[in-house]
Structure 1
Amino acid sequence: MTDVMAKWAGKTVVVTGGLGFLGSHFTEELLAAGAEVVSLHRNDSFGRLQQLRRVPGAERLRPLRVDLLDENELRAAFRFCAPRVDAVFHCAALDGNSEFKVKNSARILDLNLRYTSNLLNCARDCGVGDVVLISSAEIYCTDSPAPITEEDDFRRTMRYSTNGYFLSKVFGEVLAELFRAQFEMNVFLVRPTNVYGPRDGFHGPVNRVIPSMLARIAAGEEIEIWGDGSQVRSFVYVTDMVRATLEMVAADRYRTFNIGSTESVAIVELARTLAEMLGEPERIHLRPDKPAGPSARRLDVGRMTEVISFVPRPLREGLAETVRWYQERQLATSGLAGRV
């Protein structure tokens, strides 16, 4: 364990969405670092609580079922968990693929803003030391091949959009900065690029791009890509994203920072790579009539690389780990695990 990560030992940390994709990994890493972790969750549809009960440090895990929309219930959870909460990692959010976001913009904006507002008010009243909001690289509006810095955000160009997810992240950050200024709260804004890896959801309309592609390839279905597939994105493996965030917050050098990799890939090439890894033929259907988003989104991760003690893994290595986990999971759920 690095000296920076050792700073979490003995701390009491609340993780919202603690059984979700990001939240479960934050919970596991914090437990490994010696923290007392209070995991707030609404449900456990993936059975992750039992998984977390088997990780090192699980005796310091306190899971609580809490509805973040109920501010009184949230305050009660904070009062119950410890005399003082040292940090909160706010991972809970409604997310999804492009089609899901288009069809559910009002719902996403409404829920995500209320989650964030309730969390900030509760953290303020309970005197929480550090509040960490997991935002998104989607807040950046620029369409440029140059790496995007933290200053290229809504403070430079504020625009209207019907994308409720984008708006929820922008206004969530605006609200956080106002809380930071008015109430002198120590708020960190984390802007990761596309996060992928084990424990991501692989079924339903809320899937992100990589799990959605894997599920379609494995089922022998076409991968539908909006646009011409040339749009370039960067990705970061989930445990690298979590560890980088924990080190950045512990170092307390920057309050707003990008998290990601310097590597990037065209979406159509990503689909081809995943098909190759699964040993399946390419079945790709391009939809140039659909909105594809910015042609390129690469983050400037200079602040991150200046602070963290490791190098994020290459995309192909991370994809191989994700494919391996996916195949093992599919084998286990098919009832074939353990058969000769």
Structure 2
Amino acid sequence: MPVNALAKPIRKDYNNIMNYWQGKKVVVTGGAGFIGSHMVERLLREGASVTVTLRQRMDVTQTYLAPIARDIHVVNVRLEDEPSMVPVLKGQDWVLNIAAHMGGLLYSSKNHAYMFYENLRPAISMMEAARLAEVPNYLVCSTACVYPGDAETPIKETEGFRSFPQETNEGYGMAKRTQEYMGMLYAKRYGMHIPIARPFNAYGPRDDFHFDTSHVIPALIRRCLAAPQSGELLVYGTGNAIRALVYCDDFVSGLLAVAEKGPSGDPINVGTGDYVTIRELAEKVMTATGRTDLYIHFDTSKPEGQMRRYADTTKAREMTGFECKVSLDEGLRNTVEWFKGEVAAGRLQI
């Protein structure tokens, strides 16, 4: 796993930053991962006191949090272990449950039962532990994978519980949908403030670049950089599927906006109305990597997921003021630059 010099510099003048998160005690699950590590850094910059849960044998110095390990409180614990989690959560103002077991389309489509179990079991225990510890605020980080394959675009939040999730992500989507439902029940029964964020496709530095589990942008970046001169770029599906991509910094901003200003038990999309086809995305990645010599080969035997998926952002804009700021071209350049740096340092491979 990548280590050292990976996190953004953390300002030490926390007391001079006045905002909602100033002085808040916040537990972040999944804080060592892709989105979680960006979240932890943002919270520190905004003056929060942050506790991060890690798997029992995980060493924080071997994660993306290594450069800021002294600025956070780290607890090695299984999220499924409610009795152990309760004392960790006691006295906290917030739980931001970012932890998730994820994978690309091919991985997810072959592992529905595993994805359902691995995502739902710890989430159920975490919310119950938060209730027992009397934590007043709990963010459910859901996903756009809860939406059915025939959802009308741009996708409104009201589509979230209509029909089953799109089949390639059904297990993962149902686990997240169940978490949402549990959050609604706990908000109503126990009076907890449980905002629900439904983020769309994330990408950026620290994304998963492993072949077996990566999503579309990391996969395309690796294939571009690994391809021989004037070779081919493999793209799953027809290239006609539509996606709206959210850069990691915007993703974190959206989650925090929903947490701070969103209603309890009422989902809000975290996404963008700007979208591209997978064909257009492949061309943009070729440009960002400097591999415009490649030709695209579409493998239609591979899954391409929901054909049209981009967010109606009206609710997020009106309730929280959130809008994405980073363009896809800028985000791709940043991601490629980061990945090349990790390869040069020997922490990742093409």
TM over 0.5: yes
Q: Deviations over 1:157-211 (max 9, x none)?
A: 3569573112211122122222222222211111111011111121242212111
- Cα offset for 1:284? 3.1
What residue in structure 2 maps to residue 69 of structure 1?
Answer: 80
What residue in structure 2 maps to residue 305 of structure 1?
Answer: 317
- Cα offset for 1:256? 1.8
Give the letter for the 1:266 counterpart. T
Q: SS where residue 7 of structure 1 aligns?
A: coil
What residue in structure 1 maps to residue 289 of structure 2?
Answer: 278
Q: Is the 8 A contact 2:151 2:159 kept in 1?
A: no
Work out the CA distance in 2 between the residues paired with 1:135 and 1:5.
28
What residue in structure 1 maps to residue 191 of structure 2?
Answer: 184
Q: SS where residue 143 of structure 1 aligns?
A: coil
Count of residue pairs the alignment pairs up? 323
1:231 to 2:241 alignment:
yes
1:157 to 2:173 alignment:
no
1:50 to 2:40 alignment:
no
Q: Is the 8 A contact 1:277 1:323 kept in 2?
A: yes
Find 1:320's aligned residue among 333, 337, 342. Answer: 333
- Cα offset for 1:303? 2.1
Give the letter for the 2:269 counterpart. N
| Greater displacement, 306-315 / 274-283 | 306-315
Work out the CA distance in 2 between the residues paired with 1:249 and 1:198.
23
Q: Is the 8 A contact 2:209 2:219 kept in 1?
A: yes
Work out the CA distance in 2 between the residues paired with 1:258 and 1:160.
17
What residue in structure 1 maps to residue 254 of structure 2?
Answer: 244
What residue in structure 2 maps to residue 288 of structure 1?
Answer: 300
- Cα offset for 1:311? 4.6
1:262 to 2:273 alignment:
yes
Work out the CA distance in 2 between the residues paired with 1:112 and 1:18.
15
Work out the CA distance in 2 between the residues paired with 1:334 and 1:35.
30
Give the letter for the 1:157 counterpart. S
Work out the CA distance in 2 between the residues paired with 1:161 and 1:271.
24
Give the letter for the 2:312 counterpart. D
RMSD: 2.5
- Cα offset for 1:334? 7.1
Unaligned runs of 5+ in 1: 336-340
What is the correspondence of 1:68-217 to structure 2 with a 5 Å cutoff? 68-79=79-90, 84-143=91-150, 146-154=153-161, 156-158=162-164, 163-217=170-224
- Cα offset for 1:48? 1.2
- Cα offset for 1:233? 0.4
Q: SS where residue 188 of structure 2 aligns?
A: helix
What residue in structure 2 maps to residue 338 of structure 1?
Answer: none
Work out the CA distance in 1 between the residues paired with 2:107 and 2:135.
34
Work out the CA distance in 2 between the residues paired with 1:89 and 1:166.
19
- Cα offset for 1:315? 1.0
Q: TM-score, normalised by structure 2?
A: 0.85
Q: Is the 8 A contact 1:26 1:242 kept in 2?
A: yes
Q: 1:166/1:22 Cα in 2 relative to 1: closer, same or farther (>3 Å)?
A: same
- Cα offset for 1:142? 4.6
Give the % identical residues: 33
Q: 1:258/1:252 Cα in 2 relative to 1: closer, same or farther (>3 Å)?
A: closer
Give the letter for the 1:151 counterpart. T
Q: Deviations over 1:257-302 (max 9, x none)?
A: 1011221011121112111211123353322233322221111111
